[in-house]
Homo-oligomer: A and B are copies of this chain.
Amino acid sequence: MIIQNDLLLRAARGEKIERPPVWVMRQAGRVLPEYRATRKIAGSFKSLVTNPELACEVTIQPVDLLGVDAAIIFSDILVIPEALGLPYNMDEGKGPSFDRVIRTAGDVEALSSDNIGEKLEYVTKAISLTKAALSGRVPLIGFAGAPWTIFCYMTEGKGSKEFAVSRRMLIENPELAHALLSKITDATISYLKTQIAAGADLVQVFDSWAGVLNPKLYAEFAIPYLKKICENIDEVPVTVFAKGAWYAFHDLVTLPCATLGLDWHIDPRWARGIAGDRYTLQGNLDPAMLYGSFDQIKKETREMLRNFGTQRHIANLGHGVYPDTNPDNLKCFIETVQSS
**Chain A interface (Cβ within 8 Å of chain B)?**
159, 161-162, 164, 167-168, 170-172, 211, 213-215, 217, 244, 246-247, 264-267, 286-289, 291-292, 296, 318-319, 322, 324
Contact = CB atoms under 8 A, between A and B. Distances in A.
B171 A296 contact: yes
B170 A288 contact: yes
Contact of A288 (B164, B267, B318): B164
A215 to B, nearest CB: 6
Given A213-B265, A217-B286, A247-B267, 16 more contacts: A159-B161, A162-B322, A164-B287, A164-B324, A167-B286, A167-B288, A168-B291, A171-B288, A171-B289, A172-B291, A211-B265, A214-B265, A244-B265, A246-B246, A246-B265, A247-B266
Contacts of A264: 214
Contact of A247 (B265, B287, B292): B265
A301 to B, nearest CB: 13
Nearest to A296: B171
Copies of this chain, tallied across the complex? 2
Contacts of A170: 288
A162, A172, A286, A296 interface centre (most CB from chain B within 10 Å)? A286
